[in-house]
Amino acid sequence: MAKQIRYGMVGGDLHAFIGEVHRKAVNFDTRAELVAGCFSNIPEYNVETAEAYCVDKSRVYDDYKEMAAKESSRADGIDFVSIATPNFLHYEVAKEFLLHGINVVCEKPLCFEVDQGEELVKLAKEKGLLFAITYTYTGYTMTKVMKEMIAEGKIGKIASVNAEYAQDWLINELAPVEGAAENLSVWRKDPKFSGVSNCVGDIGSHIENYVHYVTGLKIKRLLATTNTYGHALDLNSNIIVEYENGINGAYWCSQIAMGHLNGLVVRVFGELGSLEWQQEHPDYLRYTPKGGAPQNLSRGDGYIKEKAGAGSRIPVGHPEGLYIAFANIYRNFISALIDKKSGQGCIRRGLPHGFGRFVRRPLYPRRHRQRKEQLRLGGALTNMQVRKDFIIVSQNNLGGTIDEKDSCISFGSNSCNEPRRLWHKNHNRLSRRLRRSRGSKEPRYSRSQRRPRLDRRCHDLCRGKGC
């Protein structure tokens, strides 16, 4: 499919986290192409990012104002801009592109002041432009199912809301160690760059957005306590809210909550039931009807009748991280292929378990090359393709390493460094399989003979003869 949309990006160089997330998200559907950018105020980072994404040098800009002006005047100019800068730049960058008639997708939080946000809304309406803010968690399928269930009255009239967003990545800020690296970046510490809040602005804003998205409730007034622990801005906050319909909610957000990684949890209680969604388990929605047993609804399953359930991209039971798993395998395969083509060889070390491994030496006699053998080890399929002087090992659910000393292929144990399964290059069973693949009339062996038990060691497989 040809690219239908052209877009540019402000901020989000290769050394920033969120910019790469935005680019990969756009590429999921292959309909939009990155053609322009002002990725960083550091020239080297700006050029580096543009080269990584094959952006034409003439469309790499040092200033976002120049980018907005030039792109709006081109016949092939960008259709929208993605803004992935620190918080303090969101408002002015978004306004600049709106003024030049360019649609906008912006990171959260949008602005520091309500007046600024209202100004951008008014400007987008006057220009007839689209404006989106990437509050990520509203994009999950089960979030949309939750919203639809509440609208359908599955839990009745809402009585109370409880939500939290707990992280611990700034725990060291409670008692900084002299000389240690700081997690709290400079722009997050300074109100000039981060606004009036760090924690509430960064993750508390997700709570407010999520609750409003699924319930439609609007806050009338609130009471908040914030804890700064000696810093200029907050690291922890508790907020009691009153909605326009008179009911109350309780929000807690923290970046010093030891033991919590990215724990956004939203609970909505009604007269006829309750719903609970956890970001760390996004494929499931806990539904408890009045007088009934709690139900754990799973994304993609047939019993979900809400229209939002159709937004599931992959079959039930497959976590949405499946795409990431595939991407990791391709990344390492392509990296190895690039090394091979550049003459650096195919040995790649230090890859996490589950990635393809490449060894630049024959593991079988010459007569067995160009042959493909599929070995089923403990129910997990391992494909081995031998080509000339190296072997590719691709694994499903098994971590593997290569021992070059004895040319064994080892699939590591979950609990220790001792190999759980070993196949030796000269193992008799493997040789028999290869002979059968050449047309030998040797009798077939039973399933138990062809597939060894999981707990056998290399010594057992070689019948005490050693490798």
**Got the DSSP string for 378-391?**
TTEEEEEEEETTEE
What is the Cα 301 distance to its own chain's centre?
22
Tell me, what's the pLDDT at 352?
42
C-alpha separations of 30 from 26, 34, 39 in Å: 7, 11, 21
- The answer to whether residue 186 scores a pLDDT higher than 90 is no
Closest CA to 55 of 87, 97, 93, 10: 10
Phi, psi of 134 (to 5 degrees): -90, 70
Least confident of 10-14, 27-31, 454-458: 454-458
Average the pLDDT over 158-185 and give the result: 85
Structure-model confidence comparison of residues 383 and 56, the more confident one: 56
- The answer to whether residue 121 scores a pLDDT higher than 50 is yes
Tell me, what's the pLDDT at 337?
83
Contact criterion met (CB below 8 Å) for 339 and 348: yes
pLDDT exceeding 70 applies to what percent of the chain?
A: 71
| Single-letter amino acid, residue 5 | I
| Distance between CA atoms of residues 277 and 262, nearest Å | 13
- The answer to whether residue 68 scores a pLDDT higher than 60 is yes
- The answer to whether residue 28 scores a pLDDT higher than 70 is yes
Domains of the chain, start order: 5-134 (3.40.50.720), 138-311 (3.30.360.10), 345-461 (no CATH)
Phi, psi of 391 (to 5 degrees): -125, 135
What is the Cα 82 distance to its own chain's centre?
18
Q: What is the pLDDT of residues 289-319, one digit of tens each?
A: 999 999 999 998 888 878 888 778 778 888 8
| Distance between CA atoms of residues 143 and 278, nearest Å | 10
Angle between helices 114-127 and 90-99 (to 10 degrees): 20
Give residue 359's pLDDT band: very low, low, confident or very high (50, 70, 90).
very low
Tell me, what's the pLDDT at 79?
96
Contact criterion met (CB below 8 Å) for 407 and 395: no
Tell me, what's the pLDDT at 318?
81
Give the strand pairing for 419-423 and 408-412. antiparallel
- List CB contacts of 252: < 8 A, sequence separation 6 or more: 163, 164, 165, 166, 237, 238, 239
Q: What is the pLDDT of residues 406-435, one digit of tens each?
A: 333 333 333 333 333 333 444 445 445 544
Residue with tokens 């709570």: 207
| Single-letter amino acid, residue 264 | L
Tell me, what's the pLDDT at 402?
37
| Single-letter amino acid, residue 277 | W
